[in-house]
Amino acid sequence: MTEVNSFQDLLQFIFAGLTSGAIYSLIGLGFCVVHNTMGIVNFVQVDFVTLGGMLLFSCLFSLGLPMAAALFSAIAGVAAIAILVERIGVRPSRSDNPLVLIFLTIGISIILRGIIKIVWGKNRMAVPSLSGDEPIIILGAAITPQALWILLLTSLAIAGLVLLFRKTAIGLAMRGVAANQEAAAIVGLNTGRIKAASFGLAGALGGLAGVLITPITTLNYDVGVLLGLKGFAGAILGGFGSFPGAILGGISLGLLESLTAGYLSSAYKDVVAFAVLLLVLFIRPKGLLG
């Protein structure tokens, strides 16, 4: 009986870790998209997660949209805001120094968080799950329908990214700019539009993470900060700039967090991400996949 319970507990922790890891992977992929195209770390990514949840809340309760329409509208809204951030906040900078642009994104993040606080306030809010709250029992362990939605939609988003970068003109253009921006401009690619598209794609990924995680956590103006930093840590763990690395790093980080909370203490859950980040930077700065 004890062995059965131990297996069920382990499976429960794995389900929880995969759920969190999927969210970290989406956020990490958003960081990698902008980094590969522009060579910077876009710290506004953490606020794209918050905006996803906030826009979902407004679409559901202010506009009265059904869940499916609200979800797609929220993701599209965050993508549009991300493009505006690039066009209005980042592109006018007269410096091409990556360090300057990174600090610029930090400043934009602070401003955007203030706007979110003014528009939606500081009170905590909640939104319903995509399809009910009755848990599903798998081999004795319970998993919520929302967790299954997270795993499913994250898998579809990853598959969509693969198709985008391998089969579409804009995806191939983004790869070209990432490989050599000057050469891409010489052969006629509009690098400005491609950079804006990379921000929009990163915003969509962050918005998707926000709308998926919001039903299982409370929503407030800075909810994306900790989630975003963990996604950043996951991307570094896998190898910053590597899409497979962001996925592997995010999943690994989620599992580490869940197993630490389950077998040691939940008090150490949030410490794990940053402890792993430091270890990776000390031992293997290029990450698991380089």
The answer to the question of residue 290 being in a domain is no
For the residues 61-65, what does the mean pLDDT come to? 91
Task: Supply the range of the domain harboring residue 271.
Answer: 2-125+135-283
The answer to the question of residue 100 being in a domain is yes
CATH number, domain containing residue 158: 1.10.3470
For the residues 221-248, what does the mean pLDDT come to? 88
User: What is the chain's mean pLDDT, rounded?
Assistant: 87
The answer to the question of residue 31 being in a domain is yes
What is the structure's pLDDT at 1?
Answer: 41
Cα Rg for the chain, rounded, in angstroms? 19
- Whole-angstrom Cα distance, residue 30 to residue 36? 10
Number of domains in the chain: 1
- Whole-angstrom Cα distance, residue 14 to residue 3? 16
Is 85 a residue whose pLDDT tops 70?
yes
- Whole-angstrom Cα distance, residue 205 to residue 224? 13
What is the structure's pLDDT at 2?
Answer: 52
Encode pLDDT of 29-59 as tens digits: 999 999 888 888 899 999 999 999 999 999 9
What is the structure's pLDDT at 241?
Answer: 82
Q: What are phi and psi of 12, to 5 degrees?
A: -60, -45
242, 287 Cβ separation under 8 angstroms = yes
The answer to the question of residue 64 being in a domain is yes
The answer to the question of residue 14 being in a domain is yes
Encode pLDDT of 181-227 as tens digits: 777 777 777 888 888 899 999 999 999 999 999 888 888 888 888 88
